[in-house]
Structure 1
Amino acid sequence: MEINKRNFVFEWADNVLILGQRLGEWCGHGPVLEQDIALINTSLDLIGEARNLYQYLSMHEGGSEDDFALVRYENEYRNLLLVEQANGHWGVTIMRQLMFDIYHYYFLDWMSHYSRDEELKSIAAKSLKETKYHLKFSSEWTKRLGDGTQESHQKMQEAVDQLYPYFNECFQMSEADQWAFDHGVGPDLYELEPLATQLLKETLIEATLKWETPQYPKLGGKHGKHSEQMGYILAEMQYMQRAYPNMQW
């Protein structure tokens, strides 16, 4: 497989794998049982999407899906910095989810309609149905908390201030993204950015939240340059496969 196509699929797969792992940390710790279950279901949806993509790579390149997910080094992962950020409190998790869901929705919508790779197109179409529910969930909670009590509003505003600098990276075109666009496999992310940004801002306005365009956006994840958080995620996620190589479930 062409190296840029491989990295394009890794960007997509790693995003949903790492965010799925992060959301899984909420299991048993949600504010109420219903929301705990909702987040874990989202986590399972994302990990299932990642598995489909790693299986796609395995079929075309050899190796196993576990190899791709669990034994690469930190600088070989191509996920956005946004998805690896710590869960924090409920409001931080919801805001991180909202930002990713908006990007993810527009990305999958394009892939499911226009990608020339029929296998990736099919994976996107299946995942898009789930992502619509994820976006509805994160949007509703953002509005509920942002326009709720004084304390919930303050916490959501802090979450926006903390995470908004990471949103821009979703639409930065890496070499792999550019290759995918040039060959009709993936979208022009610059064209998706105004649509996604508009939806995010409309949601924040409804939630009575403010935002500031960051002077220095947080970038680097697509090129394997990650935050400190990534090391902790991999230490936990890869432990069993590293301790018992080639273990089969």
Structure 2
Amino acid sequence: MERGLGYAEACFETFRVIRGEIFAWPLHAARLQRGLQAFSIGLNDDHLARLYAGCIRAAADHGHDVLIRLTVSGGEAPWGLFAAGGEPVIRIQAMPYHAQLQPVQLTLLEWHHPPAARVAKFTADYALTLRALQGVGHANVLFSHEQQLLCAATANVMIRRGGQWWTPALSAGVLPGIIRQQLILAGVVHEAACPVTWLEDCEAIALTASGFFVRNVGSIISEKGVLMKAGRCDELTTCLAGHAGVPEDMDA
């Protein structure tokens, strides 16, 4: 039995390879290691070097701007919850990246159960996300819990309010995103508890993820109706522009 399939003993990273370079690869590698350590799966520097080279090779077959999903699982093992796996199984999936230019419309959705801590991209966490999305019909949602904003289904959320960009502080349910971390380290975005009421008077909202980097939110559908939030996010894109592995046109 493959441990990733049988017990969700797996973590993954998603990112783009642009002109043969990955933005902030060391942060992706560190997060992947952190997640796998929870399963006692160790990746040394040699493993990580081979993973990096494998992603670059896979991307080269698909063009100059390629979306990669790198998954590492526990490997083949006998049946049983605590049966030790052999060598970890590594899967590298690659596809040409196609730009999403239009601002996205989000639906505000309550996460009804207490959210779990998300120190890495555990595949099991996304099974819970899929369950939460049942009946919605799409993944363009903004999750909240007990009147506090968390994140989108597959992205972090940035909120511009009072001339400053904010993002929900790391807590249960908030993924430590790579783009999120870079913007915080640069001083462009600050962490804080972000109540749902901020949506009513904020100046702009954006999503961040290593697939699309930064994407404008055009509007949010809530129980109160449609909240129009189509504002600019130039401070975010300017902060990332020019780095290796970042698209030349941040709107793409």
**Same fold by TM-score, threshold 0.5 exceeded?**
no
Normalised to the residue count of structure 1, the TM-score between the two structures is 0.26
Higher helix share goes to which structure? 1
Normalised to the residue count of structure 2, the TM-score between the two structures is 0.26
